[in-house]
């Protein structure tokens, strides 16, 4: 679990550092967008292939190797001379994306092999919280670290943390996994890929995850801007955004417990997508304080006044959006284990799901931004994310029928 959070911190570490990089390196907004996207670009392009690679390496070895890659890439990125910092950071972000995949793709299968069957669903719910927990930590700790020691030390600290985590994982996770399925004959790389793509289950979990991740990241990614436009102070903006991201953790944990107690996966997915759709409509509706903000630019008082009643309702709605939305990833991680056509393709299936998740994260923010630009404000954001939620709900219903789940 800690290894997953360490790897995901490298995905989230850039967002609080963008302003610092703009000031020190002359980073443009377009270049910042590329730096944000490159770490997801690895998953978008190679999730399936790296999942098959992780299945071949073995889960424990793959996670250790991935933590080593993200750690070394972060140390290298923070050590670049100013003249080469920008292109070097882009290369290091690609390397971090590859390492991230090697960490997170085999993890659900490794969790299943480490815990008794009666606890699998609960612990997969805990695993599903790795990304929102890392996002919240990056949003909370990043500004403090950047103000105290600068962006290079922030990169170095996370790099050293990941290398330390690699060593701890190597020592803590046993070679002989106590609840691993019986050994099966190894399958060639291309055979694992073909089996995964030929089965309907991996497509179902992948499409559902894409619809979820597109709307979640679009909303979380623009929240600091939206709160500042609504007149929320800069420090409080970081706290509120982190709280919304952290609410997702509760949903993941609740899904794991609910699955363990026999609640149907279809009910959890349906509730999650419905809650995200309705909560977004409330958060960005007319008069909410976010949807009716001062257009797409900064308000005159942005960052100068505390949150007022106008953002109380949308903030509560966003907590529901993120919290109940957290039911979705934990449920999909559990279904991915069932969707894998054979045991040797668990990480390959999760890789396909991660590939579509990255595609959703890549496409969601531009889609929401395009709708806001066309409308001259954020008032139709809830309808845009609601359409994604509707598509996700339909995919979930199809997936549950395919797997024979409830």
> In the structure, what pLDDT confidence band is assigned to residue 299 with cuts at 50, 70 and 90?
very low
Over residues 94-103, the mean pLDDT reads 90
Is 70 within 8 Å of 10 (Cβ atoms)? Answer: yes
- 137 belongs to a structural domain: yes
Whether residue 232 is contained in a domain is answered as yes
Q: What are phi and psi of 281, to 5 degrees?
A: -65, -40
Q: How confident is the model at residue 331 (pLDDT cuts 50, 70, 90)?
A: very high
Structural domains in the chain (count): 1
The mean pLDDT of 374-402, rounded to a whole number, is 91
- Asked whether residue 115 carries a pLDDT value surpassing 60, the answer given is yes
Indicate whether 197 belongs to any domain: yes
- pLDDT band at residue 272, thresholds of 50, 70 and 90? very high
- The pLDDT value recorded for residue 289 is 67
Q: Write the secondary structure of the chain as one string of H (helix), E (strand) and C (coil).
A: CHHHHHHHHHHHCCHHHHHHHHHHHCCCHHHHHHHHHHHHHHHHHHHHHHHHHHHHHCHHHHHHHHHHHHHHHHHHHHCCCHHHHHHHHHHHHHHHHHHHHHHHCCHHHHHHHHCCHHHHHHHHHHHCCHHHHHHHHHHHHHHHHHHHHHHHHHHHHHHHHHHHHHHHHHHHCCCCCCCCCCCCCCCCHHHHHHHHHHCHHHHHHHHHHHHHHHHHHHHHHHHHHHHHHCCEEHHHHHHHHHHHHHHHHHHHHHHHHHHHCCCCHHHHHHHHHHHHHHHHHHHCCCCCCCCCCCCCCCCCCCECECCCHHHHHHHHHHHHHHHHHCHHHHHHHHHHHHHCCCHHHHHHHHHHHHHHHHHHHHHHHHHHHHHHHHHCCCCCHHHHHHHHHHHHHHHHHHHHHHHCCC
Residue 74 lies in a domain: yes
CATH number at 122 reads 1.20.1250.20
Question: Sorting pLDDT into bands at 50, 70 and 90, what band is 80?
Answer: confident
Please check the confidence at residue 215 and state whether its pLDDT lies above 90: yes
d(CA 155, CA 139) in angstroms, rounded, equals: 14
The Cα angle at residue 74 between residues 71 and 75, in degrees rounded to 5? 85
Predicted pLDDT of residue 343 = 81
Q: How confident is the model at residue 220 (pLDDT cuts 50, 70, 90)?
A: confident
Confidence of residue 266 (pLDDT cuts 50, 70, 90): very high
The pLDDT value recorded for residue 369 is: 80
Domain with 248 in it: 2-174+189-403
Look at residue 318 and tell me whether its pLDDT is greater than 90: yes
Cross-strand pairs, 232: 305
pLDDT for 291 = 63
* pLDDT given for residue 296 in this prediction: 45
Residue 298 has a pLDDT of 38
Question: What's the Cα-to-Cα distance from 347 to each of 38, 56, 341, 352, 382, rounded to whole Å?
Answer: 22, 9, 11, 9, 34
Q: Best-predicted range by mean pLDDT among 305-309, 321-325, 351-355?
A: 321-325
d(C-alpha 285, C-alpha 214), whole Å: 20
Question: Is residue 84, in this structure, part of any structural domain at all?
Answer: yes
φ, ψ at 404 (rounded to 5°): 70, 25
**Once rounded to an integer, what is the mean pLDDT over residues 230-252?**
85
């Amino acid at each position: 679990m800690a290894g997953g959070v360490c790897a995901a911190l490298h995905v989230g570490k850039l967002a609080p550092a963008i302003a610092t990089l703009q000031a020190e390196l002359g980073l443009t907004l377009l270049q910042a967008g590329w730096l944000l996207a490159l770490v997801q670009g690895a998953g978008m392009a190679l999730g399936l292939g790296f999942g098959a690679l992780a299945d071949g390496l073995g889960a424990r070895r793959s996670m250790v190797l991935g933590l080593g890659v993200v750690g070394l890439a972060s140390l290298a990125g923070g050590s670049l001379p100013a003249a080469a910092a920008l292109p070097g950071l882009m290369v290091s972000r690609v390397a971090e994306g590859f390492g991230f995949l090697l960490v997170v793709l085999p993890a659900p299968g490794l969790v299943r092999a480490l815990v008794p069957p009666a606890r699998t669903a609960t612990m997969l719910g805990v695993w599903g919280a790795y990304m929102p927990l890392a996002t919240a930590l990056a949003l909370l700790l990043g500004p403090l670290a950047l103000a105290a020691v600068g962006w290079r030390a922030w990169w170095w600290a996370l790099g050293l943390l990941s290398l330390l985590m690699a060593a701890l994982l190597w020592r803590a996770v046993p070679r002989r996994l106590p609840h691993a399925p019986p050994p099966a004959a190894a399958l060639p790389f291309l055979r694992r890929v073909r089996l995964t793509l030929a089965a309907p289950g991996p497509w179902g979990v992948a499409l559902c995850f894409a619809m979820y991740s597109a709307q979640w990241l679009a909303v979380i990614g623009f929240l600091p801007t939206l709160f500042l436009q609504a007149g929320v102070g800069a420090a409080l903006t970081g706290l509120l955004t982190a709280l919304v991201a952290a609410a997702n953790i509760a949903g993941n944990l609740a899904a794991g417990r609910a699955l363990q107690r026999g609640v149907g996966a279809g009910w959890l997915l349906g509730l999650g997508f419905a809650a995200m759709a309705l909560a977004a409509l409330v958060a960005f509706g007319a008069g909410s304080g976010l949807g009716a903000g001062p257009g797409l630019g900064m308000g005159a008082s942005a960052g100068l006044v505390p949150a007022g009643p106008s953002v109380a309702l949308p903030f509560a709605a966003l907590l529901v959006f993120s919290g109940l939305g957290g039911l979705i990833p934990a449920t999909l991680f559990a279904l991915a284990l069932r969707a894998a056509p054979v045991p040797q393709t668990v990480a390959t299936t999760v890789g396909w799901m991660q590939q579509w998740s990255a595609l959703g994260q890549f496409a969601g923010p531009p889609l929401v931004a395009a709708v806001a630009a066309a409308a001259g404000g954020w008032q139709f954001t809830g309808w845009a994310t609601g359409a994604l939620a509707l598509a996700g709900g339909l995919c979930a219903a199809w997936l549950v029928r395919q797997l024979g789940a409830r």
